[in-house]
Amino acid sequence: MPKPASNPSAKRSNSKDGSGPTGGPTAKRSARLAPYIDVAIFMVTLFLANWFWKWMIHGDEAGVGAVTCFGLDVTAVFDAYARHIASVVYAVVHYFRDSLYMVNETTMRFVEGGGTHIVWSCTPLKQMFIWVCLMLTTPNYKLLTFNSKTSLHSTLSTLNWNKLWFIPLGLVFIHVVNLARICAITAFMEFHPEWFELLHTYIFKYLFYGLMFLFWVLYVEKVRK
């Protein structure tokens, strides 16, 4: 039985306008722009999430007084987390330097040298909030390449499921990095207490966010695709 002849010009047309299976200039241009779009979304989300946190959470940075969220007292939550961090940091640093001792549940000092006081702002809850915002706003390429020939079921099945396990993994990563950060700062306090402001406010703060960025890049480059 004879078969209808194909139309070569139609195939060429589909291929040129980017709607065919091999794509075209539009698809290639989108692929080139995708990394820049991702980073732009990351930066905007980071700024907005940081701003929203400061608008949502109020408390003295020195740990004096209550901490509120939309006017509700959440001091107990932050204090419990701060005590947990202090206990872990003390156990780790004391293992290597037995001159460290606990003054109270959240304060530790060296016999000779300085020490650290863990307050609510030392917890990584802010960074965890930002991380969740970053992951929720990170687009998925399956969504960007969806077209009429793509099955809706196949698109949804691979759309965001990786985020369901990578977001919790990121929260664990942030918790561990924060513990390592405070352990390092505490260790430095034995011989260089004058370095506290430099380490706490600048070096480890930006290192923390840099590691968060690299972990986000890991998702974008290796997990999302």
Give yes or no for residue 10 having a pLDDT over 80.
no
The answer to whether 112 touches 103, Cβ cutoff 8 Å, is no
pLDDT of residue 64: 79
Domain hosting residue 103, numbered range: 33-223
pTM: 0.81
Number of domains observed in the structure of the chain: 1
* Residue 9 placed within a domain: no
Tokens 């687009």 belong to which residue?
A: 139
Strands 72-73 and 68-69: antiparallel
* Residue 16 placed within a domain: no
CA 140 to CA 225: how far, in whole Å? Answer: 8
Take residue 5 and report the two structure tokens written for it. Answer: 């002849």
Q: If you average pLDDT over residues 35-40, what whole number do you get?
A: 88
Tell me what the pLDDT averaged over the chain comes to: 84
Q: What is the percent of the chain with per-residue pLDDT over 70, rounded to a whole number?
A: 77
Report pLDDT digits (tens) over 120-143: 999 999 999 999 999 999 987 644
* Residue 17 placed within a domain: no
* Residue 84 placed within a domain: yes
Give yes or no for residue 150 having a pLDDT over 50.
no
Which region, left, alpha or beta, applies to residue 71 given φ > 0 means left and ψ of -120 to 50 means alpha?
Answer: left
* Residue 86 placed within a domain: yes
